[in-house]
Structure 1
């Protein structure tokens, strides 16, 4: 039960973080904002990693995998920010949250068995996302923002690869050291992109508290999921955390006043029901 509660708390934190992304991405430069968010998270994670991490267990292969995971995480997060800057949360959040479908595909390629229930869950996720797009088009009278959808799918691919490579790194080393190396690699990747794009100017001062809050929420959520690994039934934490996109949709409806009709709510419920099953 504690694992499930931790997972749901992580979903709430990540969902709130993604709602903030929608707000921030439309008001300031994406790369400078991400650097503040990632830097805040790295500082918080570094404190825990230095105190709790088994650095003697860290290996060179684990460090390489962690670096690759962090690089892809930065690119996936950039895609998330771009998607939320272009399209409504009710479309982008289910697309980005569908990464367990891609994780299942990678597991299948590695020879792991895939049951009928998993295929039905994949069908629910794909069908649910498709229905959200169709019903949004009918309501708004305008076509779905394909650019936002493409960035959302890119984010899903990035997160699926990030978690797969990050888990391999943790198996080859130790969780906390891998986590801090991953974040440092992500920051270096973002810094390189910012320099190439000549976007190194800090966001406006009034945006800094919100960006620091986003970094804190991200680090808090990730810490909950990691800590749940030491509790009974840790898989419940992953299931609960995978619903972060649903939290984002609900918050967007409450805070941003994004319109949602009954068909869209049913589509969202079907989508995240499938995601929750895949996360089990």
Structure 2
């Protein structure tokens, strides 16, 4: 189904983005990186959204949902980059990728039926994260700028932000139009991050040598988020959000290959539990 395909492509794009984020965020000014990445994605999307848009379908409620999705995205990407600046991918990605778990918990809180299979998938996700966290206690300190628990806290914050972003953006698409909803969300996220950047009196100068890579990251992120948001008008749109969450395991694999980040056998087991549970949620329907 098309929504699932959109999600899988988005997962691949985000995996490359997150690999670069881990590489560049260590010891770098995070706000400067975030502003450039968000600006690049916004500028890449702007001409497409203006030319093909459907702005006449953007009702007040659709615009409100798009604005909220942008604020959620600013929080999510900020938490993601902070987590990657503190700990290796194997610790951060399973937590960030577990955001479909939050979607399921919200559904249960709203009184929607949740089957035993869903709860088994949740148990697998929670168990996998616990295994990764406990195994990280024995890691050498060189790969960490803070305790693993601190990095996982930021990763959990990012996961909550992504869950809210996808839900709000897809709702904006259903109420309005895809490209305008995506662009409004990104502009809001950029303005929020730019405001914080100016308030902190940051400087983009240290990043001049990395502007090309940061621009690529912005385009990858914009395209991936655009695919998940665009799926809001497709049957079983939730499959896109669930499938895209598999970016975490792809990022771990890329980090092990390109960054030579070592992953213990027990951590591979935990990572497999997390993403196996996520895949099960997708098959069962979140």
Name the TM-score, length of structure 2 as normaliser: 0.89
- 8 Å CA contact retained: 1:39, 1:215: yes
Please state whether the residue corresponding to 2:261 is helix, strand or coil: coil
Name 2:23's counterpart in structure 1: 23
- Work out which of the residue numbers 221, 230, 244 in structure 2 matches 1:241: 244
Q: Encode CA deviations 1:255-277: one digit per residue, 9 max, x unaligned.
A: 11111122211211110111122
Please state whether the residue corresponding to 2:112 is helix, strand or coil: coil
1:109 corresponds to 2:109: yes
- Work out which of the residue numbers 261, 273, 277 in structure 2 matches 1:274: 277
Classify 1:5/1:30 alpha carbon distance in 2 versus 1 (closer, same or farther; 3 Å). Answer: same
* Matched pairs, number: 280
- Work out which of the residue numbers 133, 148, 153 in structure 1 matches 2:151: 148
Cα deviation, residue 245, structure 1: 0.6
Name 2:49's counterpart in structure 1: 49
Cα deviation, residue 98, structure 1: 0.9
Counterparts of residues 124-273 of structure 1 (less than 5 Å): 124-140=124-140, 144-226=147-229, 236-273=239-276
How many Å separate the matches in 1 of 2:82 and 2:152? 10
Name 1:94's counterpart in structure 2: 94
Classify 1:24/1:94 alpha carbon distance in 2 versus 1 (closer, same or farther; 3 Å). Answer: same
1:72 corresponds to 2:72: yes
Gaps of 5+ in 2: none
Cα deviation, residue 155, structure 1: 0.6
- 8 Å CA contact retained: 1:95, 1:129: yes
Root-mean-square deviation (CA), in Å? Answer: 2.2
Name the TM-score, length of structure 1 as normaliser: 0.91
Gaps of 5+ in 1: none
Classify 1:170/1:237 alpha carbon distance in 2 versus 1 (closer, same or farther; 3 Å). Answer: closer
Cα deviation, residue 200, structure 1: 3.9
